[in-house]
């Protein structure tokens, strides 16, 4: 893997010395709020920013735009903060938020496990040497290929999400083997930042309901399968949850189900997986979940509920994804056009819904920032739009940018590490952006830009 050093930009006092490892810092711009940017972000001269000592404009010049930048040190620090907060628990990184070989390597080195949802995510992780016993396979509709890959590679646990999956999985387990499984139950709790990302209620596609008895029936069937070993219960309430209460309610309901399992089947389950969905702030001033507080309260609730039910405390498992990688990422765009209409100003950039569909899907709001030059113009409300053939291709609506924003300018969007590349599409065949890691004043390419040759080589018919 090639490592590229992004050289320092000249500072006000002249060129940086050859040994300098970072661009020249500048005094913070009055009113500039970097609270949702990677923790290593610092202001530079000429309106630029540096992340991990690397100039954002330097990244744009070397790797082009659009591009995703990922602060390796920030990712690793968030992994460690989860391990500290949930001491003694198992922390699985949710690969669906963002996965590449380097990310899997960082996660493994930091001691986290991995939660995957497909044979593709699984194979990519395994090619890095990720320990398969620390991998959990999820999915509401696992394909035969997904299950075969999981069994062939020896994943630690498979989460059963539907009744039809039980017999299919049991029959696929090699003779003489047993596969550890969890059951994903629906606790009937509404939580999450948007209706489309709430998964703990009975009216969506995931899991087996406690309310209608589906979960209890599936558990009885699993316990009757000699090739399956039921080791715990799993739930996932939703995404972008910023309060602790839903998780504490889930603990009580799942411990209650564990108590019924013990009473009816004489089985004490050793694991309780509360999933993820830990909310983060996308704009200054927004709420974020306090992970340390969550860990303390969940542990206390789990201990108390188990004591009341006469159960030993199971091993706790959590699955953060967005909360680990989201704040560590920045998206870089080049302005292509500025169009002022009677009612509003549109700033069109060289990316859009193909590299970030989340505003169109969930109405997510971001805080883009002009970088690379200082502007004396006052801030004005604009709508940052993409280049795609959809009226809904909007990256950030009603945001404030300098009134003289113009083609050629660079915009940087913080909190872009999660659900950007992993949800990117090939719409309009513009090509998915590259991923660039930064650490200690250096930048290196992790995932290359999708090219015209990629499009040509995949199209094999005529």
Q: Which residues are catalytic?
A: 389
CA 439, chain centre distance (Å) = 20
Residue 259: Cβ within 10 Å count: 17
DSSP class of residue 266? -
Q: Tokens 């015209």 sit at which residue?
A: 452
Residue 339's H or E segment, with its range, is strand 329-340
Q: Are 137 and 150 in contact (CB under 8 A)?
A: yes
CA 229, chain centre distance (Å) = 30
CA 134, chain centre distance (Å) = 18
Contacts 24+ apart (CB under 8 A), 198-207: 198/237, 198/238, 199/236, 199/237, 199/238, 199/239, 200/235, 200/236, 200/237, 200/238, 200/246, 200/250, 205/140, 206/140, 206/161, 206/236, 207/140, 207/161, 207/235, 207/236
Give dist(CA 34, CA 434) in Å, integer. Answer: 24
Give dist(CA 289, CA 323) in Å, integer. Answer: 9
Residue 147: Cβ within 10 Å count: 22
Give dist(CA 326, CA 421) in Å, integer. Answer: 11
Closest CA to 392 of 426, 415, 363: 363
């Amino acid at each position: 893997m090639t490592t590229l050093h992004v050289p320092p930009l000249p500072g006000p006092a002249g060129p940086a010395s050859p040994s300098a490892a970072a661009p020249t810092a500048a005094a913070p711009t009055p009113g500039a709020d970097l609270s949702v940017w990677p923790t290593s972000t610092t202001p530079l001269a000429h309106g630029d920013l540096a992340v991990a000592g690397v100039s954002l404009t330097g990244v744009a010049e070397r790797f082009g735009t659009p591009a995703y930048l990922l602060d390796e040190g920030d990712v690793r620090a968030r992994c460690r903060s989860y391990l500290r907060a949930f001491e003694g628990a198992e922390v699985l990184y949710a690969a669906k938020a963002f996965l590449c070989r380097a990310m899997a390597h960082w996660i493994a080195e930091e001691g986290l496990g991995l939660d995957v949802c497909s044979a593709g995510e699984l194979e990519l992780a395994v090619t890095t040497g990720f320990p398969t016993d620390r991998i959990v396979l999820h999915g509401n509709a696992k394909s035969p290929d997904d299950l075969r890959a999981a069994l062939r590679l020896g994943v630690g646990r498979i989460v059963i999400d539907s009744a039809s999956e039980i017999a299919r999985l049991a029959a696929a387990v090699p003779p003489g083997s047993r596969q550890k499984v969890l059951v994903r139950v629906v606790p009937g709790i509404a939580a999450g930042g948007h209706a489309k990302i709430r998964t703990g209620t009975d009216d969506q596609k995931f899991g087996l309901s406690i309310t209608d008895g589906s979960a209890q029936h599936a558990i009885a069937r699993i316990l009757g399968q000699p090739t399956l070993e039921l080791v715990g219960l799993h739930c996932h309430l939703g995404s972008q949850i910023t309060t602790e209460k839903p998780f504490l309610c889930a603990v009580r309901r799942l411990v209650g189900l564990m108590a019924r399992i013990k009473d009816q089947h004489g089985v004490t389950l050793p694991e309780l997986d509360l999933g993820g969905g830990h909310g983060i702030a996308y704009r200054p001033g927004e709420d974020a979940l306090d992970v340390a507080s969550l860990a303390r309260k969940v542990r206390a609730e789990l201990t108390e509920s188990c004591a009341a039910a006469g159960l030993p405390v199971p091993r706790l498992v959590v699955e953060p994804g967005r909360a680990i990688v989201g704040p560590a990422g920045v998206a870089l765009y080049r302005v292509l056009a500025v169009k002022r209409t009677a009612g509003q100003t549109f700033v069109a950039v060289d990316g859009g819904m193909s590299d970030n569909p989340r505003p169109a899907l969930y109405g997510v709001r971001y805080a883009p920032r002009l970088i690379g030059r200082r502007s004396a113009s006052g801030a004005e409300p604009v709508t940052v739009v993409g280049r795609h053939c959809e009226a809904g291709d909007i990256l950030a609506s009603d945001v404030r940018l300098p009134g003289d924003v113009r083609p050629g300018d660079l915009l940087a969007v913080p909190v872009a590490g999660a659900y950007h590349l992993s949800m990117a599409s090939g719409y309009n065949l513009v090509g998915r952006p590259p991923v660039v890691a930064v650490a200690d004043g250096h930048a290196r390419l992790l995932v290359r830009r999708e090219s015209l040759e990629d499009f040509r080589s995949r199209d094999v018919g005529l």
